[in-house]
C-alpha cells in the first residue's frame, strides 16, 4: 500500500478555508484516495474519497492533480468543531482486503 505523508499539525481560525495536502508518490493505478476525520475519544469518520480531478460533497472538497502523487483536502469556512485529526489514506483492489493504513494524520486546531 502506498505510503502517505502529511503535515503533523495545522492551525486555522474560524471562517477560514483550510487546505491539507497529502503526498503519496507511490500510489498505484487502482488506488483511491480517502480522507477520514477523528475527534478525541471517537473512532475515525469517513469524509471523502476520490480517484482523480475533483470531488465535492456537503462537507469537503478533494483535489487530485493529474499525476495523482498528491491530494488536497479542502474544508470551507471551518468552525471550532472542525478541530480534529485528519488522515489521508490510499488503497484499492491491489490490497484485496480494504485494509486501511493510517499514518500520523494532521492535527487541525481551529481557533476563535
Partner 1 sequence: GAGVSQSPSNKVTEKGKDVELRCDPISGHTALYWYRQRLGQGLEFLIYFQGNSAPDKSGLPSDRFSAERTGESVSTLTIQRTQQEDSAVYLCASSLRPSAGSYEQYFGPGTRLTVT
Which residues in this chain contact partner 1 in the complex, by CB under 8 A?
30, 32, 34, 41-46, 49, 51, 87, 89, 91-93, 95-105
Spatial neighbors of 56 by CB under 8 A, at least 6 apart, are 62
Question: Whole-number minimum distance, CB 50 to partner 1, in Å?
Answer: 9
Least Å distance between CB 98 and partner 1?
Answer: 3
Cα separation of 95 and 17, whole Å?
A: 33
CA dist., res. 11 & res. 25, Å (int):
25
Closer CB to partner 1, 27 or 92, in the complex: 92
Query: Least distance in Å: CB of 16 to partner 1?
Result: 26
Nearer to partner 1, 35 or 110 (CB): 35
Amino acid at each position: 500500500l502506498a505510503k502517505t505523508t502529511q503535515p503533523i499539525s495545522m492551525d486555522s481560525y474560524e471562517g477560514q478555508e483550510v487546505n491539507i495536502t497529502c503526498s503519496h508518490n507511490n500510489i498505484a493505478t487502482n488506488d483511491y484516495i480517502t480522507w477520514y476525520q477523528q475527534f478525541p475519544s471517537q473512532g475515525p469518520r469517513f469524509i471523502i474519497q476520490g480517484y482523480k480531478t475533483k470531488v465535492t460533497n456537503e462537507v469537503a472538497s478533494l483535489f487530485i492533480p493529474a499525476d495523482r502523487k498528491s491530494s488536497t483536502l479542502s474544508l470551507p469556512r471551518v468552525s471550532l468543531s472542525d478541530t480534529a485529526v485528519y488522515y489521508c489514506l490510499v488503497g484499492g483492489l491491489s490490497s484485496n482486503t480494504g485494509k486501511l493504513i493510517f499514518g500520523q494524520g494532521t492535527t487541525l486546531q481551529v481557533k476563535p
